[in-house]
Structure 1
């Protein structure tokens, strides 16, 4: 029997995490401050969530809105944050940085990868804002721990990015394309069957798990609905 597809849900706190797990989430992305599109949670927040659930937790490493790693001082803060989260028990992460020209900020990425020391990590939707997606993927290929790209295929979301997602799925296994595609960003239930048919087996939801908006917690019923569709129900 083939391994079931991954459903990853954004969690802001333990209440979110418990509801997401109850609904059938396989993994959680832990962030704070969704007004800034998701920033690094504190080690205490991570520890509190980790104590309540037993699904894998991927922790965001980003201190400001956008895709720039920032000044040397801000990079030092990121490194410290990553180290503190690791000390708190975090073993999976999410990160991604671009330079001013839209290329991957390889120095910033490698700085954090060194601190992560082999931990699994996702390169997030900075990919969708890159000047050259293919060049970025080839530059990152082979970095320790990189196993996933979170992408909508386009900055505008999955509706616009579908052709790109399908083309990249077709290249899976070739140089730069060995990592799993985790589709998120304007993802709708109606997209899932088409993406599954193309071989994509990982899906990421945030607002879709909160039918009443970000001011309300994750709905286990909403997650369960996604679980059913992702599983082909």
Structure 2
């Protein structure tokens, strides 16, 4: 089971590595659902450990629909992220009809050539998620979809996530389960969904808060719980 952890500071990357995480999602503006971090933070995160760093590319939190001006900003950010040595990017784009914006996605993927790509929880606002997953699976550089199966915490949508994971297994795209996961519920979630990758944010921090430090011991505990299932 692969464990991904949200980092908002370079120190978080070091703590995640100490705890045995497998991958970092680097963001800023976590109160707004995660925004593009500064280039300085990206560079610091990449240098902080050998963990692969996936960088959020999201210029604002108003929606997942992007204007031409937004598009230019995002493409420039991707160029800078690539130059900083990050392993990949985390993106998501929808049309006003809440379906996958394939034209913009394809522009992003061309700009991100050579980077690993995660499609983020914009996916959870799509009505026909199975169709969207099939569409995303057509792009080899999109390795995974981060999803809670909808807008509720992931454990409450475990059956939907299981169906998506089964479809993803057939299509060759991974489902990264996340939102509201912690050491107290990960055993049930993993058993109910069968996902191969899990994503943690406040659930691996002191007092379950992004205002507090990331705890390597929480990641160790989660790893132990997941290993007991095998």
TM-score, normalising length: structure 1: 0.91
Deviations 1:60-96 (A, max 9, x none): 1111115424210111000000001111112311111
In the TM superposition, residue 191 of structure 1 has moved relative to its aligned partner by 4.0
Specify every segment of 5 or more residues in structure 1 that has no aligned partner in the other structure, as ranges: none
Contact 1:11 1:28 in 2 (8 A): yes
The CA RMSD over aligned residues, in Å, is 1.7
| Count of aligned pairs | 227
Q: 1:171 to 1:138 in 2, by over 3 A?
A: closer
In the TM superposition, residue 19 of structure 1 has moved relative to its aligned partner by 0.7
Query: Which of 179, 182, 186 is equivalent to 2:176?
Result: 182
In the TM superposition, residue 6 of structure 1 has moved relative to its aligned partner by 0.5
Higher helix share: 2
Please state whether the residue corresponding to 1:204 is helix, strand or coil. Answer: strand
Task: Say which is worse superposed, 25-34 or 84-93, in terms of deviation.
Answer: 84-93
Aligned to 1:203: 198
In the TM superposition, residue 124 of structure 1 has moved relative to its aligned partner by 0.9
In the TM superposition, residue 134 of structure 1 has moved relative to its aligned partner by 1.4
Q: Write out aligned runs for 1:136-151 (5 A).
A: 136-151=132-147
Please state whether the residue corresponding to 1:216 is helix, strand or coil. Answer: coil
Contact 2:183 2:203 in 1 (8 A): no
In the TM superposition, residue 189 of structure 1 has moved relative to its aligned partner by 3.2
1:224 aligns with 2:220: yes
Contact 1:8 1:28 in 2 (8 A): yes
Q: Tell me how far apart the structure 2 counterparts of residues 9 and 74 of structure 1 sit (CA, whole Å).
A: 27
Q: Tell me how far apart the structure 2 counterparts of residues 31 and 106 of structure 1 sit (CA, whole Å).
A: 24
In the TM superposition, residue 195 of structure 1 has moved relative to its aligned partner by 4.3
Task: Say which is worse superposed, 30-39 or 181-190, in terms of deviation.
Answer: 181-190
Contact 2:65 2:96 in 1 (8 A): no
Q: Tell me how far apart the structure 2 counterparts of residues 14 and 103 of structure 1 sit (CA, whole Å).
A: 34
Aligned to 1:112: 108
Contact 2:176 2:197 in 1 (8 A): yes
In the TM superposition, residue 222 of structure 1 has moved relative to its aligned partner by 1.6
Contact 2:66 2:93 in 1 (8 A): no
Q: 1:67 to 1:120 in 2, by over 3 A?
A: farther
Q: Tell me how far apart the structure 1 counterparts of residues 109 and 99 of structure 2 sit (CA, whole Å).
A: 18
Aligned to 1:193: 187
In the TM superposition, residue 99 of structure 1 has moved relative to its aligned partner by 1.3
Please state whether the residue corresponding to 1:21 is helix, strand or coil. Answer: helix
Q: Tell me how far apart the structure 2 counterparts of residues 71 and 134 of structure 1 sit (CA, whole Å).
A: 26
Q: Tell me how far apart the structure 2 counterparts of residues 125 and 28 of structure 1 sit (CA, whole Å).
A: 16
Q: Tell me how far apart the structure 2 counterparts of residues 35 and 14 of structure 1 sit (CA, whole Å).
A: 18
Point out which structure has higher relative CO (alpha carbons under 8 A, 6+ apart).
1
TM-score, normalising length: structure 2: 0.92
